[in-house]
Amino acid sequence: MAKNKFTQYFKRHRYSFIVLIAIILLGAYLTYGSRQMINKKNQQLESLLMEEAELKQALELLEQKKQNKSNEELKESLARKKLNMIKPDELIYVIKFE
């Protein structure tokens, strides 16, 4: 008797069951697709963060080189002015005022 009731109930609502199953399958498919997209975006984010770290390190190295260069130029400038030093290829002109 119980089996007969279930069969009758299923026959009356079979389209509802089909729609319900279709909705569940669609939800599972969309969830799986979005999970793949999220994983792909996480991988892209990870690679961009690594690239950013490398670029920051390169920038820091360049800034240190710039600082060293300016320090060397400052030392050279002070040596030229205070100690009257010249480079090997430079010519010095002495102008005498009478």
CA torsion, points 30, 36, 42, 45, in degrees to nearest 10?
-100
Residue 5 has which token pair?
A: 């009731």
Is pLDDT of 11 > 80?
no
- In this prediction the pTM is 0.49
- Three-state DSSP state, 96: coil
d(CA 57, CA 62): 9
Q: In one letter, which amino acid is 9?
A: Y
Q: What is the DSSP letter of 86?
A: -
pLDDT band at 2 (very low <50, low <70, confident <90, very high): low
The better pLDDT of the pair 42, 28 is held by: 42
